[in-house]
Structure formats: C-alpha cells, structure tokens
Structure 1
Amino acid sequence: MPSTATTSRALSGDPGSPGEPAQPAVPGTAAGPIVVPPGLAGVSVTDTSIGHVRGREGFYHYRQYSAVDLAERRTVEDVWHLLFSGELPDREQRAEFTARLAGYREVPAGVRDVLPAIAAAAPAPLDGLRTALSLAGAAQGMRPIWDLDEAARREDALRLCAQVPTLLTALHRLGQGEEPVPPRPDLSYAANYLFMLTGTEPRPEHARAIERYLVSTIDHGFNASTFTARVIASTGADVAACLVGAVGALSGPLHGGAPSRALDALDAIGTPDRIDAWVRERIERGERIMGFGHPVYRTEDPRSRLLRRTACELGGDLVEFATAVESRVLALLAELKPDREIHTNVEFYAGVVMELCGLPRTMFTPTFASSRVIGWSAHVLEQARDRKIIRPDARYVGTPPPQPLPEI
C-alpha cells in the first residue's frame, strides 16, 4: 500500500508520478480513489456499537461499559450476552443463557471421532482448531449467513463459540497422549475450560482469575483477526468460515501475541540480581522486551493493570519476581528510550496469571482464542446486517499498460 505522502494527491484526483496513469474515478466519489496509510492505520472503515479502544487514554469498552469493570464484576456469560444481545442479563436471563450455552458445549460425534487425527497432524492446538472448527461448521449444516435470518445466524455463532473450548482442550490433551475430558454443564465457562484442560475441577480463585482474563480479551477494536472475520462475513459466508479466517489471522506472529514469551524472558533472567544486565543488553541491541509496548496504547494497557491486580491476589514468588522485573524494565526503557512511550502490555501479566492457574504455556494463545471467538462472532453478526461486500481497491504501481507483447 502506498505511503501517506500520496494521500492528498489521490484524494484530489491528481495524476500519479511520471509514467503512471491518472487515477480513475471510483463510482460514487467525485475525487477518485482514496489512498490510505499502510496497514489502514488511523482509518475508520465502518461504524460499530460493539466496543472501542481509546489508546491515548488507556481505556477500552464493550458496548457502553468499561471492559475492565466488566472483567472485575461480571462473568464470561454475562459479557457474551451483552455483545450478542446489546444488554447485560438480569438474574433470570443469566440463568437461561448460561444453561443454553452449557448445552452447546458437546461437539458433533463426527468431529469428535477425527480429533485424534487432527491432533496428530497439527501438534499445536491453535493450528488444529482451524481444521476442527471448519469441520464443526460443516457437520452442523451451517449455511451462508446471507441465507439466514438474524436468529439463525446468532444460533450458529452461539454453538461454535461454546464448542471452541471443547475443541481446543481436546486437541491439547490428545497431543499429550491423554483422552479428552467431556464438558460439564454445571460449571461456568471459565471453570469448565480449566476442567476440560486439566481433568480436575479448578480452585475457585483460579477459575475467577482465568475468567477475568477471558473477559478482558473478548474484544479489542478492529484488530487484524476481527477485521478478517468481518471481511469474510461481508461475503455472506457461513459463521464457521468467518471464525476459521479469524483464527488464521491470529496465528500470525505480529498479531497473536506471546504471553508464553514474556514468561520465557522471566525464566532467562532467573534471579533479581540479573535483571538490569539482561534487560539493558537487549534494549541496547534494539531487541524487543516481550510483554512491553503496544501499537495502540500510549499509556499503560488497562488489561495489564487488571491482570497485575489479579496476579497479586494469587500471590507467590513468581508474582514478586514479575513485579520487580516490570519495575526495572520500565525504568530502563525510560532511561534508554526517553522518546518512546513503551508500557507494560497485556501479555506480561497474562502469562503470569495463566502459569499460576496451571495452564501449560502451549495453551496460552489458544486460551486467548477461546474468549476472542466471542468477540469475533459479535462482529460477524453485526457485519451480516450490512449487505454489502467489503471490496476495496488497490493502486497499481507497475509498468504502465498496455505494453506490446514480446515475441518468442
């Protein structure tokens, strides 16, 4: 995509650089095509009522509520209801919605039967999820969203979101040579996830800590995977296809994050007396310190504040060490990169919390996906109401056509 320097020329309809044809007008726009910054940075591509990230303020929200407030005081099921229905449930609605979701956790038998083969072929659960999720949609006869009314689209999204934790935990256990653990309808979303992962009913404080993490990561603006899901939804594809595309985008190293890598850094530092030397060396070499810096936030990531409090409530040596490392990293970043606004991001304490709650590091990013699938689905449902395909243009910068064909 061209640089921002071309934006004003394209907006005014002026010709391009020498040797390039003048830009033709786009139907419905007198000025011609609009050239945008690389990566669509700072470009609002649509309207949404699902949520927003206000990076300079260090604030984000779901609908009209602070996402951090929701994570501290509400359940995954409550926030799921909020994103899908536009309102928080009352007690009666919560009970009905929670029971309904619990009934959707079992995956179709035809999908369950092939999970061992998927796990053998794709040892990473997130990789296996792409295949399993696609198969789950097909096995349940999911049709293109443009052929469905809103209630049917919502039903498909509910089923797949409820089945993703079952698929992820089964793929993980099969990859470890263990049998999958069937879901328990009497457990909450978070507690059931930990139960299916470990085979043991979790301690209440662990279930609540993971629930806070899951709620805090359900949605986060128009990130790459969310935008991918909406682009696919704009084609009218079925819900499973939209979610498979989102998982594919999440798998990229520039998007999916790496809570496990932040913990790996703590392991590499080892002891408090090595913090400064280890951190200073990497900053001076221009390396990124995992768990610090974010493309949107210009202040501390609010999810990091939430998860730091959660980690401190759990307590232990790892938390004490992590807070000591965080303090020194921030001090050294301020000293060595005074012109940069680099703060702790969600990955740093997410890894600490998940480690304390007994999750294996290979399941950190899949756990993120188990909640973000709810946000993706809310965006798919919203996009489905706009019956127009997302079909942008590209500015051709190659050799001007038509050229004579060369003789052979």
Structure 2
Amino acid sequence: MTLTSEVPAGLRGVVVTTTGLGDVRGDEGFFHYRQYSAIDLARHRSVEDVWFLLHCGALPTPLEAQGFLAEVAAQRHLPAVLADALPVVAAAGGPLLSGLRTALSLLGAAEGFRPVYDLDPAARAADALRVCALTPTVLAALHRLRSGAEPVAPREDLDAAANWLWMLTGREPAPEHVRAIRRYLVSTVDHGFNASTFTARVVASTGADVAAAVVAALGAFSGPLHGGAPDRALAALEEIGTPERAEQWVRDQLAAGGRVMGFGHAVYRTRDPRAVLLRETALELGGDLAELAAAVEDRVVAVLAELKPGRSLHANVEYYAGVVMAQAGLDPSLFTPTFATSRVIGWCANVLEQAQDPRIIRPAARYDGPPAPSPLP
C-alpha cells in the first residue's frame, strides 16, 4: 500500500468518498441539501419535507408530503419494551444522549434490526424511518421522567417541530416558537462530513444495522467540540453579561489559552449561514437575550479580528442556537438533544447512501513509534 507523504491534521480537506446528499462550501458561506439551499429550505419547508428530500431523493409533492407525515407520525409511538425500560434508563442519570444510546441499542435488538448488508433498500429505509421518528419521543420521555413527570404521548396531527415542543411540555406550543425551532431543526439536519456523520458512515460501511450506526454517531456527537457546544456558547454569553464586558472577556479567555465557544468553524471562512438565519430568528422573537447576543457578537468578532489577524472568525451555529432554543423555552440540558432530533435524519440519510457501497472504509495510519523490529528485552 502506498501512503501519501502528508496527512493534514484532523483530515482537513481530505476527500474520502462522493455523496449526492449535499455539500458545504465554506469559502462562500453556503451549504445545500441535494440541489437546494439549506437556508432556503429552513425558511420555507418543514422538517419532514427535508427528511423526504434526503431519504427519498426529491422534495415531496403535496400528496407525498401528507402521506409521509402520516407515516412518520405512526412510527413515533414508543414500543412496550422501550416504555418499560425508559424509567430505569432515566433513573441511571447522565446526559440525555447517553440514555438515547441505550434506548436505540435496545430498539435495534427488540425489533430485530438486521445488518444493512443483508437488507434491500426498502427494508433499510424502514429501519431508518423508525430510528428517526422515535428519537424525539425517547429524548422527550427521558427528559420528563428525570423531571419527575410522566412522558407525553406524541401527536399525529403535529409536524416534527411542534410535536417536539408538545412532548417536552404537554402544552400547545406557540406558533412563533414552532417556527423558530423548525428553522433550527431544518438548518441542522446535515452538514457535510462532520465527525458524527463520518462515524455513522464508517459503521455503515461494515454492513452493521442502522441502530448501530446511529449509536456510534451519537458517541461522536456527545463531545463538547461537536454537538455539545450550544449550551456552552450560551453559558459564555451569560458570563459576559453586557456588551461592554465582551472585549475584555475575550482577551482574558485567549490569554488563558481558552476557547471562545460559539465562534469560528472548521469549514467556514466567512459567516456561518446558519448563524445568520438564527440571528435573524432570535431578533424576530425579540427580548433582552437576543439584543445582548447580537451586540456581543459584533464586539467579539472585532476583537478576534485584532487578536487573530488573517483568520476569519465569526459566530457559528452554536452561538445563536442556544439563544433561539432558550427563547423557545428550552432548558440548556435540552439544547444538544434538540440538535440530535434533527441530525439523526442526516445520519440515517448517510447510512442509506453508504449502504449502497459494498466496500468497507479502512484508512491507514503512518507509524511514528520506535523502530521495529527491536529485540525483546
């Protein structure tokens, strides 16, 4: 095997496969799902429409959309084995995503998920639909159980965004909150070959079942440098407190070797289009938090431009994600789980695409340890 002479840190810029699901064009500040702007979809389409687009290849007709919504709604209800197990999982403590990993492993076993290698496309799609539809129900139930409340059954007359808020609170969600959460969910369904998506594809390339691939993706997603960032970005904003304190806070943070959570991105070299959309959404919802976030963003970007010349550091999606979710009434403990309810759709789309390729993903590493073979002592 011939190895390339240089391997960029974090595999930055290394192309590992082709995909028809979408792309992120970081220099332009643009990303798309299939042929459509993801931000245009977030403004004008539902989660289910984008789900259909990624899993089925095209936006649904009105009749297809109606049928797909009904199909998804029918798969949201907890099977008895999960309903019985979730109180025990909730009592164990830990982050909600840990409980979701346990629940999805149990689901795969209880419902007999088979390796995607052994399934036809229709059977793979059915397993993916089940996992995506159940994920919000599991997370909402775990949240309520840990809060000492009974789970709220999903409603078949609500779309994904409205149903998520309903299951969390048991109250009819405000239309403006549904619209804000819908925009957030659609804009985070997929985003190129990020760490969790790549993890899902690696597992899928082994022929494993859909639940196994999603559980692996959740492990990658749980890290604070990936899906765990929105609550940390909001915590930083709250620590800053006022726009006047932003400059010194950033200087102190960088001087101590810390990170400015919510700013900078591995791919974007200009403004993150998701952050632009969510800033607009936050200001539409109004309130002191949105005004603080916008004012602090402007000052932080100016300081970063001074302290890190040559790097284009702007607010990323996590910065405004926490703001918008807080405005919609969500506790910070629900920020990353909310992210997961959309990203699971993208993971499963990637699993379905990867399953069409019979080759296992098996990269190489360059050894840089002591010379071998060496004599045993």
**Residue aligned with 1:60, SS:** strand
Q: Is 1:190 the equivalent of 2:178?
A: no
Q: Deviations over 1:64-116 (max 9, x none)?
A: 00000000010000000000011000100000000000000012101110101
Q: Is 1:169 the equivalent of 2:122?
A: no
1:287 is aligned, of 228, 237, 258, to 258
Post-superposition shift, 1:257?
Answer: 4.0
Aligned structure 1 segments of 4 or more residues deviating by more than 6 angstroms: none
The percent of aligned pairs where both chains have the same amino acid is: 65
1:34 aligns to what?
4
1:75 aligns to what?
46
Contact 2:242 2:296 in 1 (8 A): no
1:249 is aligned, of 200, 220, 239, to 220
2:239 aligns to what?
268
Amino acid at match of 2:130: R
Q: Is 1:109 the equivalent of 2:80?
A: yes
Q: Is 1:365 the equivalent of 2:331?
A: no
1:90 is aligned, of 55, 61, 85, to 61
**Residue aligned with 2:31, SS:** strand
Amino acid at match of 1:33: L
Contact 1:257 1:347 in 2 (8 A): no
Q: How does 1:4-403 map to 2 (within 5 A)?
A: 26=1, 32-35=2-5, 36-403=7-374
Contact 2:265 2:313 in 1 (8 A): yes
Of structures 1 and 2, the one with the larger relative CO (CA 8 A, separation 6+) is 2
Contact 1:230 1:383 in 2 (8 A): yes
Number of aligned residue pairs: 376
Amino acid at match of 2:212: A
Give, in whole Å, the separation in 2 of the partners of 1:402 and 1:345: 48
TM-score of the pair, normalised by structure 2 = 0.97
Q: Point out the structure with max Rg over C-alpha.
A: 1
> Which moves more between the two structures, 91-100 or 325-334?
325-334
Q: Deviations over 1:126-166 (max 9, x none)?
A: 11111111111111111111111000000000011000000
Give, in whole Å, the separation in 1 of the partners of 2:99 and 2:191: 24
Give, in whole Å, the separation in 1 of the partners of 2:14 and 2:198: 12
Amino acid at match of 2:296: V
Amino acid at match of 2:92: A
**Residue aligned with 1:200, SS:** coil
Amino acid at match of 1:227: F
Give, in whole Å, the separation in 2 of the partners of 1:254 and 1:319: 24
How much is the aligned-residue C-alpha RMSD, in angstroms? 1.3
> Which moves more between the two structures, 278-287 or 336-345?
278-287
Give, in whole Å, the separation in 2 of the partners of 1:392 and 1:237: 18
Structure 1: segments with no counterpart, 5+ residues: 1-25, 27-31
Contact 1:108 1:139 in 2 (8 A): no
Give, in whole Å, the separation in 1 of the partners of 2:275 and 2:121: 36
Structure 2: segments with no counterpart, 5+ residues: none
**Residue aligned with 1:61, SS:** strand
Give, in whole Å, the separation in 2 of the partners of 1:136 and 1:182: 18
**Residue aligned with 1:68, SS:** helix
Contact 2:47 2:161 in 1 (8 A): yes
Give, in whole Å, the separation in 2 of the partners of 1:209 and 1:195: 14
> Which moves more between the two structures, 270-279 or 163-172?
270-279
Contact 1:291 1:345 in 2 (8 A): yes
**Residue aligned with 1:299, SS:** coil
Amino acid at match of 1:173: R
Contact 2:243 2:299 in 1 (8 A): no
